[in-house]
Structure 1
């Protein structure tokens, strides 16, 4: 059903005259008559009774009028939902307690007027596809995985280098250390269930293992962070890696220890990705906020894989 015809019907019903409706719509009276006639043919009813003094709604016209108004309201809402700046900025983060989510919480505090829709996609390949399709506006990822360039249509900027820490239970051999070197971790079992081959985080840990001779195990089902923390607390033989800014809470009797890693400090490189032609105005605001509030990268004494895109 043509919206211009519906709009013409409502204008004529409100004005009571085709001539006044034509003036309001900036069309000719003949155009108004043609539109009304076409609508009546489409509905197979008479909507107006023409009189010497104008046009009066028939019973069918009166029944149709509230629905016609609703059609116009729905159309207006549909247009407003995609008008520049009117829909929420949709951003992908890896997990709700990750450093990436922390960056978005800080952005929301700084810009509470900007509506956000935060989602969690599985991996970088899925995120890039969503950027290209317009399903999301931005994504936080480690880029670029070897053999998988982003493409000219996707832009990225490095926004945060997050130091990894060692997380141990109270009975682990390294639990009392104030810091540990990567060399000291050789021979210790680092348990990280949930690492999926082909993902950017799997590529990161593959390189870390290859360069420093570590033992990273991803065996067993991934029951989530609570199960991981329970196991680390109860098992002296296992430790895990955790991002310095990852926000996790565990029972006090777990006795878990966060231990800095040094010489060098492995850092996980978080980058913001977006499609270059994305016009959402809040995207530029997010980029400016991250540029102003995040620190430098590739500091002395840190390690990232060679494939990571520099700032």
Structure 2
């Protein structure tokens, strides 16, 4: 999540630089660093790559029931950084007629055809890979609709990416360059905003308003679907913690199951279940069971305190 936020900042810097550049040192190297390295390599390409990693983590957890280790961990990491590094190198070594140039008239950094189509090709490849991963992840069974959320983010990203391409090929005139730049910045950053609101929005809202009730509902769904061992596995995924609870910040950074494993008593004299073992099943998990008894006690204490 932190890396994704960094890519958003890099994208903002690069997009703003290409739209209306105002740095005092207006030369080829400045354009290359701001637009090529920060905006594209560390921004847009890295953002799509991190989306791929998140979906790949879902597939490992919910479909393959494993933590990605060894080659399954190293290979995707090498893949996601290779395109960014290659693009950064090409943007630096290509000559003026193929790389970045500074336009003194419009006060912008301009990508020549070669580097422009290289970046576009890399982005198309990344998007196709993301779509293939989403197709693979379509059958996952989870508590927080992880697949639907990532499908929404990917759909918004593809739609706004097409809009950005259309805006870039429309001639606005020299006196409308600022308007064109503003539109490009807005539609470039919107998919990243949608990502943060979609992934972080629900847990942050519930943690601010009624965190114990949110955890109570999470525990009910986990027990009902029998996904305790899956979310325990997701909490330690090296490619990023999977559940919404792990994205919510302190003090709920671990999953509910991990929290429960640290308690020797749920309600009365009932022992806590082992991590990885199926949780008790019953006809109405929101009303009974040792797991929910623990959360009911939390909810009752919170109600009394309020």
Q: TM-score, normalised by structure 2?
A: 0.30
Larger radius of gyration: 1
Q: Whose strand proportion is higher, 1 or 2? A: 1
The higher relative CO (CA closer than 8 Å, separation ≥ 6) is in: 1
